[in-house]
Amino acid sequence: MADTVLEVRNLKVAFPCSGGVIRAVEGIDLDIHRGECAALVGESGCGKSVSALAIMKLLNTPPAVCRADKLQLDDLDLTHLPDRQMERIRGKHMAMIFQDAMTALNPVMTVGKQIDEIYLRHSRLSRREARQRTIKALELVGVPEARSRANSYPHQLSGGMRQRVLIALAFACVPKLIIADEPTTALDVTIQAQVLDVLKNMQQVHGVSALLIAHDLSVVANMADTVYVMYSGKIVERAAMQELFVEPLHPYTHGLLASVPRISDDRQPFVQIPDAVPHPMRKPTGCYFHPRCPRSSDQCQQRMPRLESLDHEREVRCWHPLRQPHEVRS
Amino acid sequence: MKRSYVIKRIVYAVFIFFVVLTLNFFIPRIGVQDPAERYYPPQGGMSTIEYEIIKQFTREQYGFDVSTFQQYVRYLQGLLRLDLGTSLRSGSPKVTTLIAQRLPWTLVLSVSTLVISLVIGLLCGTLAAWKRGRWQDTLLLNASTISVALPSFFIALMLSFYLGFRLELFPAYTNPNMVAQFDWGWGAIRMVFTNAALPIMSMSLGGIIGYSQITRNSVIAVTNEDYVITARAKGLPQATVLYKHVLRNALLPLATSIGMNIGGLIGGAIIIEQVFNWQGMGTLFLEANSTKDYPLMMGIMLFLSAFAILANLVTELLYVILDPRVTVGDKR
Ligand SMILES: Nc1ncnc2c1ncn2[C@@H]1O[C@H](COP(=O)(O)OP(=O)(O)OP(=O)(O)O)[C@@H](O)[C@H]1O
Ligand code: SF4
Ligand SMILES: [Mg+2]
């Protein structure tokens, strides 16, 4: 499809370590269209960050082992691209926003210099021109007094301001794709909403495609068009945001949704999915979710279900989804 | 505020120096024996009155005739005039004169040792971190294990024997009569490659390995920091990431350890100077020790402490330039 900005096929990441292999990502497929915001949602440790880093080709190999049948960014085939050429693409065509801006910014360099660097790297600008762009970029994400703030060190800014700096950094070259790895989890709830607004605004103004990573659905609800639900290294459900909210099909998604507290809905008590994610080195047989699943059967314990499409734009990996494929919705 | 941090550090350093000089004054005076009797033990054939006169004369000469507190005040007054007292050796030279005579010789050794171990240590440490787990890294690990087991005087002896006597590449010892004629400038630089070469090598080896280890570990730790991934995510080339983001942060712990090592560097020369018959502060201290020349010993001790405190102060102030976070307060 010409309109696909990111196409990932069968992405696998493993970490060999003493006592076994951690299979962090077990063959995921992603398709993100132009201007679309896709969300990757799942509990802590399910492999979201590792997937993001693998797409950016930022994992250190070794120790990580990465495989993908296809990794295509717009018209660029990244599947077997050597590191030297990846350096020209990172920052310019694809960028990443990290979770904790405090640790993601170099503590001994002013934030302005850190943004200058990306302009100096990817366009033929003088230092002066780069700094002017930097100030503009900071103004765009709502940093007041951008000119003087550019000379601050990260620790001199508030958490929200730092996260804005990271957003400015990611959008600096207006890339084709932005990956935001839990961009707000390190922030206070009130600041979270502001930063998400900035992110959403930037994404829509520039028409950039985005992959937004989060561990619960409430964060992505206002922003994402499509949602990929990930569990223990595998995609278990894919659906448009609206449909997923109306009708989750995978028991895990159902649990995730039920654990989002909703003000309007006080009939159901706050539900928590029991137990924890399986240890990445000792995953259960069959469906990885079966020890925690209320619908699990013998079949679930023996064989891993495939990711089947339902309707046209939905996929689910479950033997007993909440609605069977043949049931046609009105 | 930057300035309040700087002032705080300076006040602290002065305070520590005061404590040190006070201890330096009182500890030798804990001994109960009359110093005059110690210097001139009673000899046969001398009447008691004669002996008392000699003791009284000695006390006056060396300032023991007044109370300890008065002695302390005199000692402080002397320090203000940069006077560390008079040595007991013949000719009663000033302690400061003796130190000034020997200091350049020790400085040649310690400054070149510091520079050499820093430069080589930094390069090797960065290389080992870069080639983590490969043979370069393993070599460093083995070298440091061995160097811990080998005392520096042993290394000095081996170097002196093989490079000095067997191969005759460098002079294995120095003529003590050279002391008076230290030549600042080219003479000092030439010395680094001739007479001082073997002592410097013996002293540098431990430093090279120590700094390599610190650099290696700190570079590896910083490489895993999030901001290094951010730098790579910006598309910066590997070399730029290493130079601009990794090294700048990795050098911070190194700065601290340099500050702590400088003080020890002069003291650490004591043994090495003996091996090569090098007429520096270390040898001077041993001479003072064997002749029970207390004023000289105290003077050297005080001088070395002041040097160490000053070195620490300088590194702490350097930190203000290197790490902007220090300005917030005492974060370390
Ligand atoms: N460098 C590494 N070496 C070994 N295992 C790793 C490494 N990085 C990640 N893992 C493993 O990969 C799995 C997935 O980790 P990942 O960081 O992608 O989780 P996540 O979904 O992003 O979780 P979180 O919400 O906590 O960020 C984890 O089980 C983790 O232990
Ligand atoms: S396959 Fe079975 S165990 Fe797995 S989610 Fe579906 S019902 Fe639950
Ligand atoms: Mg993560």
**What is the tens place of the pLDDT at every residue in A37-46?**
999 998 888 8
Chain A residues with CB under 8 Å of a chain B CB are 53, 56, 58, 83, 87-92, 95-96, 98, 100, 103-109, 114, 117-118, 121-122, 153, 155, 166, 169
In a domain? residue B209: yes
Strands (E), chain A: 4-17, 20-33, 37-41, 65-67, 70-73, 76-77, 94-97, 177-181, 209-214, 226-231, 234-240, 308-310, 314-316
Q: What is the ipTM of this complex?
A: 0.84
Please tell me the distance from the alpha carbon of residue A181 to that of residue A99, in angstroms, as a whole number.
6
Section A271-276 average pLDDT: 60
Strands A65-67 and A226-231 turn out to be unpaired
Please tell me the distance from the alpha carbon of residue A255 to that of residue A71, in angstroms, as a whole number.
31
In a domain? residue B139: yes
Question: How far does the centroid of ligand 1 lie from the alpha carbon of residue A160, in Å?
Answer: 25
Q: Provide the pLDDT for residue B120.
A: 93
Contact yes or no for A223/A37 (Cβ under 8 A): yes
Residue that has been written with the tokens 């689910």 in this structure:
A316
Q: Model confidence over B180-216: pLDDT tens digits? A: 666 777 777 777 777 778 888 888 888 888 899 999 9
Q: Model confidence over A33-89: pLDDT tens digits? A: 988 899 999 888 888 999 999 999 888 877 888 888 888 888 888 888 888 888 888
Section A187-193 average pLDDT: 78
Q: Provide the pLDDT for residue A270.
A: 45
Q: Provide the pLDDT for residue A54.
A: 92
pTM of the model: 0.76
Q: Provide the pLDDT for residue A227.
A: 92
Per the model's pLDDT, the better-predicted residue between B8 and B168 turns out to be B8
Strands A70-73 and A4-17 turn out to be antiparallel
Structural domains counted in chain B:
1
**Beta-carbon separation of A90 and B233 below 8 A:** yes
Amino acid at B252: L
Please tell me the distance from the alpha carbon of residue A136 to that of residue B199, in angstroms, as a whole number.
59
Q: Model confidence over A219-252: pLDDT tens digits? A: 788 888 899 999 888 999 998 888 888 888 888 8
**Beta-carbon separation of B328 and A155 below 8 A:** yes
Distance from CA of B330 to the nearest CA of A (A): 14
In a domain? residue B296: no
Q: Write out the residue range of the structural domain in which residue B184 sits.
A: 101-291
Per the model's pLDDT, the better-predicted residue between A278 and B309 turns out to be B309
Q: Nearest residue on chain B to A153, judged by CA atoms?
A: B324
Residues enclosing ligand 2, CB less than 6 A? A 251, 287, 289-290, 293, 295-296, 300, 305, 318-320
CATH of the domain at B157: 1.10.3720.10
Mean pLDDT value across chain A: 83
Question: How far does the centroid of ligand 3 lie from the alpha carbon of residue B212, in Å?
Answer: 33
Phi-psi region of B31 (alpha: psi -120 to 50; beta: other; left: phi over 0): beta
Mutation target vs A (from B130, B230, B249, B321; most A CBs, 10 A cutoff): B230
Section A132-149 average pLDDT: 87
Section B228-247 average pLDDT: 89
